[in-house]
Structure 1
Amino acid sequence: MTSRNAVVAPGRTAVAKRGRGPWPLVAAATLVVALIVVSLTVGVYDLRAQEFGSEMFWITRVPRTLALVLAGAAMATSGLVMQMLTQNRFVDATTSGTTEWAALGLLVTVLLFPAATLATRMVAASCAAFIGAMLFMTILRRIPIRTMLVVPLIGIMLGAVVSAVTTYLAVQFNMLQMVGTWFMGSFTAVVRGRYEVLWVVAIVTLLVFVLADRITVAGLGKDVATSVGVRYDLILIAGTALVAVAAGVTTVVVGFLPFLGLVVPNVVSMIRGDNVRSNLPWVCCGGIALVIVCDLIGRTIRMPFEIPVSMVLGLVGSVVFITLLLRQRRG
């Protein structure tokens, strides 16, 4: 893996830039609450003028907004975990191939057990994502890393191979359309009775807060972590498992959310520095805000039609990814 110096951008300090008390975070949380309210009020169905407006509000609007909040916070924090464990800013569930493994596990489950429940599919996708993430980590430990750009390239190539296998199986069993919906992440189908498994990723987010200090130390490398009494291998497995569960559950419910875990932690780090524990609330707020804004754009730009949130996220994420590459090159 790369050295810890590769994680901190040139000219930056690893100490978080302190804001003036809690007020900046309070302002950020207020902005997130405002976006949540806007999300609850935006939609094709006129809740006030049409019949059954109150029922539709609780059946569709509230579940969709809760799914946006849960998925945004979980994928953003899981991206931060991946970046710490790999000591690389360009890694998240998308660029490590983890989401592609989750889709493969989900497809295999559907093929073998067509009547599998949503919970069963969630477990299968999470297990496959964990296998893929651990394979990615194993590859990184066995090859020399001369530049930090090699790490996401390995993940992208691994994900491309897994995606090709998934597509081949889907074509063979006439399930290409179903797989296409997984790759095209969207919250359109999120209704009451379908989003509830996403509360699992809320537990994942809380566990990231609990393990934040240990994950930070593990991000300094095995030698440093062992010297201060942290069980490096255990934290590596635990952190990878949290990322896998977040990727697996999110893939089952809404599909891919590309670059979300890449964009938010990097933007927060550029503004506040690299103190992981103090940055976690900001990462959660940023993840929620970004996914809600992208969803609102997708819902309103061609109303009454919807553009999948993954398309808007992919556009934003690719721009930020290229910007980070250019910053790294100048550094």
Structure 2
Amino acid sequence: MRAAGAPAAGAPWLLLGGLGVLLMAAASLFIGRIPLGPADLWRDPAAGELLLVSRIPRTAAALLAGAALAVSGQIMQILARSRFVEPMTAGAGQSAALGILLAAMVFPAAPLWVKMGIASLAALAGALGLMALLRPLPPTQPLLAPLTALVYGGAIGAATAFVAFQADMMQFVDTWLTGELSGVLEGRYELLWLAGGATVAAWFAADRLTLLGLGETTARGLGLNVARARALGLGATALVTAVTVTTVGAIPFIGLVAPNLVSRWMGDDLRRALPVTALLGAGLVLGADILGRVIRAPYEVPVAVLAGVLGGALFLAVLLRGPTRG
């Protein structure tokens, strides 16, 4: 279930990782198009307002989105029984964008929480569709699951693009399919706390999800209510995906890279692994956002672009390194 020696070796790195994320969060408060330093908070009242209205919400949004996406990716990998799937590329993210598009077309004046609810239902339907496709696949062919997920997500993405093109709303859809945090302000990110709540709920259900990863037959033999555990995992994944896409847009690879890195280090005991996965996901998104602010200052590179580049590079490094031996 876990690599040998992980608890003793993992605790110092976990503390260092937490400290690193805290330092990045502190730096994020003072990095942006408008120069801002700690001393400005005492001299200029507008500096404090900038911090409260823009910088703190943006930093919190990056941390919440990253942690939630990483945990939802780990849950989906257990449900799909494949290390190579994640919600944003396996149909759930595309379904959430399709749900938002349809909500904007049918209920253009609806408040954001209504569109988020429709997106959640669409993401749940997309995840259920993927599970139905993966169920009959033979376990002896591990590459079929990620290939099926990619084709499935691509098909839903193509359908979304077709509907948006017919309705002359391509630019609208691109907003949801390319995650970026430059528009995050106070009052426009608070829905992400729902994703944070779903992440905490997943930790409380970690033991059941761990048993589910052993296979349905084994899990039932150990007394697990498989249908209830599966519904909990799918519900958390759908909610996190919909809230993230609705609030900041789709951010790829976080739900793929973070769980794989953590599982190779700590094994499959989710009670221990989920906090580390959440911390790594939060650090990846926040780091990508900070890099996007400074790499072409005063312009910004969307966090989804840098998350895709960094996440892809990390995932290739994991694949080339080979399995960890405990």
TM-score category (smaller protein): over 0.9
Residue 98 of structure 2, aligned match among 95, 101, 104: 104
Deviates more, 1:48-57 or 1:112-121: 48-57
- 1:184 maps to 178
Residue 313 of structure 1, aligned match among 302, 307, 315: 307
- 2:153 maps to 159
Residue 31 of structure 1, aligned match among 5, 8, 20: 20
Matched, 1:230 2:219: no
TM-score in terms of structure 2 length: 0.93
Give the conservation status (yes or no) of the 8 Å contact 1:76–1:260. Answer: yes
SS in 1 for 2:135: helix
What runs of 5+ residues in structure 1 fail to find an aligned partner?
A: 1-7
Give the conservation status (yes or no) of the 8 Å contact 1:15–1:275. Answer: no
What runs of 5+ residues in structure 2 fail to find an aligned partner?
A: none
The amino acid of 1:298's aligned partner reads G
Matched, 1:212 2:206: yes
- 2:140 maps to 146
Residue 295 of structure 2, aligned match among 295, 301, 304: 301
Q: Show the 5 A alignment for 1:255-294.
A: 255-294=249-288
Q: Deviations over 1:186-230 (max 9, x none)?
A: 001110111011110111011110000000001111111111110
- 2:6 maps to 17
Give the conservation status (yes or no) of the 8 Å contact 2:68–2:240. Answer: yes
Deviation at 1:180, TM superposition (A): 0.9
SS in 1 for 2:161: helix
- 1:5 maps to none
TM-score in terms of structure 1 length: 0.91
Matched, 1:76 2:89: no
Matched, 1:200 2:198: no
SS in 2 for 1:182: helix
SS in 2 for 1:69: helix
Mark the CA change 1:21 to 1:315 in structure 2 (over 3 Å): closer, same or farther: closer
The amino acid of 2:14's aligned partner reads L
Distance between the aligned counterparts of 2:320 and 2:90, measured in 1? 20
Q: Show the 5 A alignment for 1:130-141.
A: 130-141=124-135
CA RMSD of aligned residues (A): 2.1
* Paired-residue identity, %: 38
Distance between the aligned counterparts of 2:124 and 2:111, measured in 1? 20
Mark the CA change 1:33 to 1:329 in structure 2 (over 3 Å): closer, same or farther: closer
Residue 235 of structure 2, aligned match among 241, 266, 291: 241
Matched, 1:44 2:38: no
Mark the CA change 1:104 to 1:272 in structure 2 (over 3 Å): closer, same or farther: same
Q: Deviations over 1:151-206 (max 9, x none)?
A: 11111111111111111111111111111111111001110111011110111011
Distance between the aligned counterparts of 1:105 and 1:21, measured in 2? 40
